[in-house]
Amino acid sequence: MPAASPGASDQLPAQFFSELEEAFDLAQTQEGIQRVSLRIGRRPLTLEFAGPSLVDLIVPALRHRRVSAPGPGAFTVKVFDSTSTSVTVPPPPWGPNDYLAQGEISGFNTDRFRTAFRVDAGCLSMIDLERRVAVFWIRDPAAFPRWMEAAPLRTLLGWWAAGQGLQMAHGAAVGTGDAGLLITARGGSGKSTSALRCLRDGLLYAGDDYVVVDPIARRVHSVYCTAKADDAAIDGFFPDLRASSHGRIVGDGSNKHVFFLDELYPEQISDLPLTALAVPALTGADTSGFAMSGAADALRALAPTTLFQLAGTGTNDFRLMAELVKTLPVYRLEVSANDGIAATVRRLLETAAGVPA
């Protein structure tokens, strides 16, 4: 699933994108428009909603990134649905065999356009990187999955980030004002719980699942102010959080609760300098610890789970992640349930500060 088919024609994608924008314009004419200005990594984004139906499903996870006014040259994401607006979108100009992994649409991913459709939610994401406009359409807001509330517009924001020289990464990030740790591994490795434990022990928090990395500036940008935790993690580490759950994710096997951390820890949701990488490993030992590891270990932990989890990624993303792991100290983070992982992460970050780049 390379991101784009080099040299593929933009004609059909451009025509379809134009029709999508016409449908959005009709919907916003009928239902009114709500604009939400965001800033991620100093880059401005404007979400335009046709009617109110999707605002409360998409904005909460992003509201810590809200700014009062759109920045100059903001990227625009047009958001609408058919059920509440009664506006239909044109039929897909592709066939039933053109739906690929991660919902990518064959023939509609070019250097300029990216297109993906999620059958499980009935939603379409399409971006025009040249005109700096994207469209998110969902047939029925009632089908908007809970996991998507925790990471809304993930596909589009991943494409947007790549167009800015940034990289959406599948990982958690925590740190201090001076140092930050990207914890990366595939799902089920304990990175979300570790990140939330660190937050509770006073560290800054950029995200538990998806963050945007600036490989040049070496910074991690927070995209979502959410965290997810299953019952075992809540019972074991955060029993008081249960009352703050915004509901469970069902359908993906995780059964995790979703939390909006900007309500609970508004001072600790933050972008971070990126000074170290860690691959977590759960251990039954009494204490947590860390050990130096190799860049190749980090690449194997970071790249596949990012590349295969996000639509429209490809060789460039892989190369960018390889460059990133070469420039940062990498550690194996041994996570114990029996002590404060935050203290270990603080020590790790202090150690990393002494490692020459």
Partner 1 sequence: MSNSERWLRVNQPTIAAEEIEGEVVVVSFDSGHYYSLRDTAADVWRLLDGGVSVGTVMEAFADGVPSVVGAFISALESEGLMVAAQANGKTHTGTIAVGPFSDPKLERFEEMSQMLLYDPIHDVDDTGWPNLPDNAGE
Q: Among 89-97, 234-242, 269-277, 278-286, which window interacts with partner 1 (CB under 8 A)?
A: 89-97
Task: Write the binding mask 119 to 148 for partner 1: x where contact by CB under 8 A, - elsewhere.
Answer: xxxx----------------xx-xxxx---
Which residues 6+ apart lie within 8 Å of 272 measured at CB? 173, 174, 175, 179, 180, 204, 206, 219, 220, 222
Does 265 sit near partner 1 (CB under 8 A)? no
By beta-carbon proximity to partner 1, the closer residue of 104 and 262 is 104
Q: For partner 1, which residue of 131, 186, 218, 246 counts as binding (CB under 8 A)?
A: 186
* Shortest distance, position 57 Cβ to partner 1, whole Å: 11
Does 68 sit near partner 1 (CB under 8 A)? no
Does 357 sit near partner 1 (CB under 8 A)? no
Q: Among 12-20, 92-100, 270-278, 279-287, which window interacts with partner 1 (CB under 8 A)?
A: 92-100
Helices 295-309 and 315-326 cross at an angle (nearest 10°) of 150
User: Rounded to an integer, what distance in angstroms lies between the CA atom of residue 230 and that of residue 184?
Assistant: 19
User: Rounded to an integer, what distance in angstroms lies between the CA atom of residue 61 and that of residue 226?
Assistant: 6
Phi, psi of 179 (to 5 degrees): -150, 150
Residue 13 amino acid letter? P
Residue 99 is classified by DSSP as: B
C-alpha dist (Å) from residue 97 to 12, 100, 106, 308: 17, 8, 9, 20
Does 6 sit near partner 1 (CB under 8 A)? yes
According to CB under 8 A, which residues from 322 to 341 bind partner 1? 322, 325-326
Does 273 sit near partner 1 (CB under 8 A)? no
By beta-carbon proximity to partner 1, the closer residue of 132 and 139 is 139
Residue 87 is classified by DSSP as: P
* Shortest distance, position 23 Cβ to partner 1, whole Å: 11
* Shortest distance, position 109 Cβ to partner 1, whole Å: 12
Helices 191-200 and 341-353 cross at an angle (nearest 10°) of 90
| Burial of residue 268 (number of CB atoms within 10 Å: 0-12, 13-18, 19+) | middle
User: Rounded to an integer, what distance in angstroms lies between the CA atom of residue 194 and that of residue 135?
Assistant: 34
Q: For partner 1, which residue of 7, 72, 97, 357 counts as binding (CB under 8 A)?
A: 97
Task: Write the binding mask 154 to 173 for partner 1: x where contact by CB under 8 A, - elsewhere.
Answer: --------------------
User: Rounded to an integer, what distance in angstroms lies between the CA atom of residue 312 and that of residue 157?
Assistant: 11
Residue 236 is classified by DSSP as: H
Binding residues for partner 1, total number by CB under 8 A? 46
Does 247 sit near partner 1 (CB under 8 A)? no
Does 99 sit near partner 1 (CB under 8 A)? yes
- Beta strand extents in the chain (DSSP E only): 33-40, 43-50, 75-81, 113-118, 123-128, 133-138, 167-170, 172-175, 180-183, 204-207, 210-214, 219-221, 226-229, 257-260, 272-273, 276-283, 289-292, 330-336
Does 314 sit near partner 1 (CB under 8 A)? yes
By beta-carbon proximity to partner 1, the closer residue of 121 and 264 is 121
Site of interaction with partner 1 (CB under 8 A):
1-2, 6, 88-89, 91-92, 96-97, 99-103, 117, 119-122, 139-140, 142-145, 186, 250-251, 294-296, 299-300, 303-305, 307-309, 314-315, 318-319, 322, 325-326
